[in-house]
Amino acid sequence: MTKRVVTLAHYYTQPEIQQMADKVGDSLELSLFAREADADVIVFAGVRFMAETAKILNPAAKVILPDAGSTCSLVTQTDVAALKKWRNSYPDHVHVSYINSSAEHKALSDWIVTSRNVDDIIAHLYAEGKQVIFSPDRNMGAYLNFQYGYDMPLWSAVCEVHDRFNEAALDEALGAVSGAAHLIAHPESPLPVLKRAGYVGSTSGMLNWVREYQGSTTDVIFVATEDGILYNMGLARPDLDLRQAPIYAGCQCNSCPYMKMNTVEAVKRAQQGDGLLIDYLGESEMASARAPIERMLEFSARYYA
Ligand code: SF4
- 158: three-class secondary structure by DSSP: coil
**Domain ranges (residues) in the chain:** 5-71+259-279, 162-244
* Nearest atom in ligand 1 to 188's CA: 3
Output the residue whose Cα is nearest ligand 1's atom 1. Answer: 256
User: What residue type is 271 in one-letter code?
Assistant: Q
State the pTM of this model: 0.95
Whether the CB-CB separation of 261 and 17 falls below 8 Å is answered with no
74 CA distance to ligand 1 middle (Å): 7
Q: 127: CA distance to ligand 1 center in Å?
A: 31
Ligand 1 atom with minimal separation from the 70 CA? 5
CATH 3.40.50.10800 fits 162-244, yes or no: yes
Per-residue pLDDT of the chain (305 residues; tens, 9 = 90+): 567 999 999 999 999 999 999 999 998 889 889 999 999 999 999 999 999 999 999 999 999 999 999 999 999 999 999 999 999 999 999 999 999 999 999 999 999 999 999 999 999 999 999 999 999 999 999 999 999 999 999 999 999 999 999 999 999 999 999 999 999 999 999 999 999 999 999 999 999 999 999 999 999 999 999 999 999 999 999 999 999 999 987 777 789 999 999 999 999 999 999 999 999 999 999 999 999 999 999 999 898 87
Query: What's phi and psi for 102, nearest 5 deg?
Result: -70, 170
Q: Do 162-244 and 5-71+259-279 have the same topology in CATH? A: yes
Q: Could you tell me if the CB of 159 is within 6 A of ligand 1?
A: yes
For residue 304, what pLDDT is reported? 80
Would you say 148 and 124 are in contact if contact means Cβ atoms under 8 Å apart?
A: no
Residue 262: Cβ-neighbour burial (10 angstroms; 0-12, 13-18, 19+) = buried
Q: Which residue from 159, 143, 167 is spatially nearest to 226, judged by alpha carbons?
A: 159
Class of domain 5-71+259-279: alpha beta
How high is the pLDDT of residue 28?
A: 82
Tell me if 100 CB under 6 Å of ligand 1. Answer: yes
What pLDDT, on the 0 to 100 scale, is given for residue 2? Answer: 65
Pocket of ligand 1 contains residue 72 by CB under 6 Å = yes
> In the prediction, which pLDDT does 253 show?
77
Give the pLDDT confidence score for residue 167 in this predicted structure.
93
CB 71 within 8 A of CB 51: no
> Which pLDDT score, from 0 to 100, does residue 1 have?
58
Of residues 52, 193, 184, 26, the one with CA closest to residue 115: 26
Segment 22-29 long-range contacts (CB within 8 Å, at least 24 positions apart)? 24/232, 25/204, 26/114, 26/115, 26/116, 26/202, 26/203, 26/204, 27/53, 27/99, 27/100, 27/114, 27/115, 28/99, 28/114, 28/116, 28/117, 28/202, 28/204, 28/300, 29/204
Instruction: Answer whether 47 contacts ligand 1 (Cβ < 6 A).
Output: yes
pLDDT of residue 252: 73
Q: What is the pLDDT of residue 250?
A: 73
| Centre of ligand 1 from the C-alpha of residue 263, in Å | 17
Which atom of ligand 1 has the smallest separation from the CA of 100?
A: 3
